[in-house]
Amino acid sequence: MIRRLALGVLLVVSGAIGAAGQNVIQLRDPGPRGGPPVLTQALSGPYVVVPPAADRALIARDAEHPRTVIVLGRDAVVEGSVRGDVLVIGGDLYMHPGAEISGRAVAIGGGVYESTQARIGGGIRSYREFTYDIAHAAGGWELTYRQIEVSDEQQGFPSLYGLRVPSYDRSNGLSVPIAPTVTLPHTRVSIEPRLTYRSQLGRLDPSIVALDSIGANSAVRLSVGRSTFSNDAWIWSDLVNGLEVLWRGDDSRNYFRATRGEVTLERNLQPSSGVMLAPYIGGRIESASSVQPDSFARGGPWSFFGRHDVDDMLRPNPAIDPGIIGSLLAGAQLTWTPSDVTVRLRIDEELGAFAEDCAGCDLIRGGNFAQTTLDGTIAFPTFGMQSLRFDGHAIITSRGTTPRQRWAYVGGSGSIPTIEMLSRGGDQLLYIDARYDIPVNGIVLPLGVIPVVTFREILGGATVGRFETLAQASGVRLTASFLYVEWLIDPVARHPHFSFGISVAR
């Protein structure tokens, strides 16, 4: 408690000093091409400095900071809320359950360690190949670029550093990736060759990703490889989905297999204070096919429950239209944090030409389509500690024949709990989840946990060619730290749904 109070005072004091120009950060040597854009952008706006020390910096659970926080020379733990970026220079950044960063989580000379119960609005950046030496200067601190030597063991293959977090689902079984990252000497080019073993398919999928920073705010990304894909990954993260599959056999995704090549030109911009914009353009070519389980599956990966249930682990993947899709891609991610409001919006546009494989036929069918995907969040406080949050996801596709590998689905505990898992699908989708959170401040549970009552309203549906009548779920949730109980009902069909478990962010 004393440490939390001390850091809270430190942040307030350092913010006031920084505003007066007495605790600023200067780039004595920014490094190649002016340093990483995320650092230069952060230094161009308002920020709070947490100076070097021997212990970890802690942003406490009940703290809410209205601007970017820059931690120098030590690790940082985020449990509270930051309306901006969090940058750790010369250390690691750890996210704890309940933490929220509206901007980016950045570690320079270290790593970013996520939590499934934490929210990061602007994405993650981790720069392990270089850091900055920190020194006192007039009015604040000076940063000097220093390359970190990477040993042969780190770049070797295979090695401990190439192991990545495995995933688990009803189609692949256990997916175990090995992907060492190699940075080419004296360049900004990084290459990540990857091999992923998929236990249920008995496949070893190769792929490679190359990234080249071509300017202070721009990069080219190239990826080629074979993998299993899903359009439903927005519902739950890989980790949460895998735990649900292992425990209950509930998989919130449909899958297909594809060999895919993609290249994009990405740019990071900060048009004004509190606004971050990351547009991209590119192209993709993809050859896809259906994947098990199908309607005749008799067995699948292991799970504690639902292993032999056709509504759970043996739920068949919808067949896709095998063929080749060539696409032009464009999109952008916007993060806007005016005052204590958080707005995040991602837009992806695909203009595709599809040629269907038709084995044994004289005619290969095909067609063109245009598909827009929108995913966003808006959150803001209302009265006292109460807050209102809207999460949304939408897919809008032009009229015509859309290949089924571009369909998406809703239904089940991850999206609309009052209807069956992924029971509605098509090339048009709309999903809105509204939550009004009311902390019960008069009750303090062990470990200082304050329960939260949430009133929840969900609307959603998916179909082909048009928007049908939307399904609805209304109810209440009680959350204590990472545990919850929830009761929802469809007010039209009168279908109730009761659930309990671990509270996770979408």
pLDDT tens-digit map of 85-116: 999 999 999 988 778 898 889 999 888 887 76
* 310 three-class SS: coil
Per-residue pLDDT averaged across 46-52, rounded?
90
The per-residue pLDDT for 12 is 40
Per-residue pLDDT averaged across 396-407, rounded?
90
Beta bridge partners of 142: 26, 135
Would you place residue 169 in the very low, low, confident or very high pLDDT band (cuts 50, 70, 90)?
very high
SS (H, E, C) 333-359: EEEECCCCCEEEEEEEEEEEEEEECCC
Per-residue pLDDT averaged across 289-312, rounded?
92
Of the two residues 475 and 99, the one the predictor is more confident about is 475
* 406 three-class SS: helix
The per-residue pLDDT for 417 is 94
Does the pLDDT value for residue 273 go beyond 80?
no
Does the pLDDT value for residue 154 go beyond 80?
no
Distance CA 31, CA 11 (A): 28
The per-residue pLDDT for 471 is 93
Of the two residues 415 and 152, the one the predictor is more confident about is 415
The per-residue pLDDT for 149 is 55
Of the two residues 160 and 250, the one the predictor is more confident about is 250
Does the pLDDT value for residue 370 go beyond 50?
yes
The per-residue pLDDT for 15 is 41
Would you place residue 159 in the very low, low, confident or very high pLDDT band (cuts 50, 70, 90)?
very low
| Residues near 171 by beta carbon (within 8 Å), at least 6 away in sequence | 200, 201, 228, 251, 255, 291, 292, 293, 317
Would you place residue 412 in the very low, low, confident or very high pLDDT band (cuts 50, 70, 90)?
very high
Which range, of 9-23, 95-109, 339-353, averages the lowest pLDDT? 9-23
Per-residue pLDDT averaged across 460-464, rounded?
94
CA neighbours closer than 13 Å in the CB half-sphere of residue 5? 2
| Residues near 478 by beta carbon (within 8 Å), at least 6 away in sequence | 451, 452, 453, 454, 484, 485, 486
Per-residue pLDDT averaged across 390-407, rounded?
92
Q: Which of 433, 380, 439 is nearest to 236 (CA)?
A: 433
Computed over every residue of the chain, the mean pLDDT equals 85
The per-residue pLDDT for 359 is 57
Are the beta carbons of 386 and 450 closer than 8 angstroms?
Answer: no
The helix or strand, by DSSP H or E, that contains position 154, with its residue range, turns out to be helix 152-155
In the numeric block, which tokens belong to residue 378?
């808006």
Instruction: List the chain domain ranges.
Output: 2-147, 152-406
Would you place residue 365 in the very low, low, confident or very high pLDDT band (cuts 50, 70, 90)?
low
Per-residue pLDDT averaged across 34-39, rounded?
82
Distance CA 234, CA 252 (A): 10
Q: Give whole-number Cα distances, 265 to 4, 36, 197, 279, 434, in Å.
A: 42, 17, 30, 9, 34
DSSP 180-249: --EEPTTSSEEEEEEEEEETTTTEEEEEEEEEEE-SSSEEEEEEEEEEEE-S-TTTS-HHHHHHHHHHH-
Which range, of 19-23, 192-196, 452-456, averages the lowest pLDDT? 19-23
Would you place residue 132 in the very low, low, confident or very high pLDDT band (cuts 50, 70, 90)?
very high
Which range, of 93-102, 320-329, 369-378, 409-418, averages the lowest pLDDT? 93-102
Per-residue pLDDT averaged across 331-351, rounded?
87
Per-residue pLDDT averaged across 330-344, rounded?
84
Does the pLDDT value for residue 336 go beyond 60?
yes
CA trace torsion 121, 498, 298, 292 (10° rounding): -20
Does the pLDDT value for residue 271 go beyond 50?
yes
Distance CA 252, CA 238 (A): 10
Angular region, 412: left φ>0, alpha ψ -120 to 50, beta rest: left
Over residues 380-396, the pLDDT tens digits come to 889 888 899 999 999 99
Of the two residues 500 and 455, the one the predictor is more confident about is 455
Per-residue pLDDT averaged across 155-161, rounded?
42
* 153 three-class SS: helix
Which range, of 269-278, 398-407, 455-464, averages the lowest pLDDT? 269-278
Of the two residues 37 and 253, the one the predictor is more confident about is 253
Distance CA 372, CA 443 (A): 45
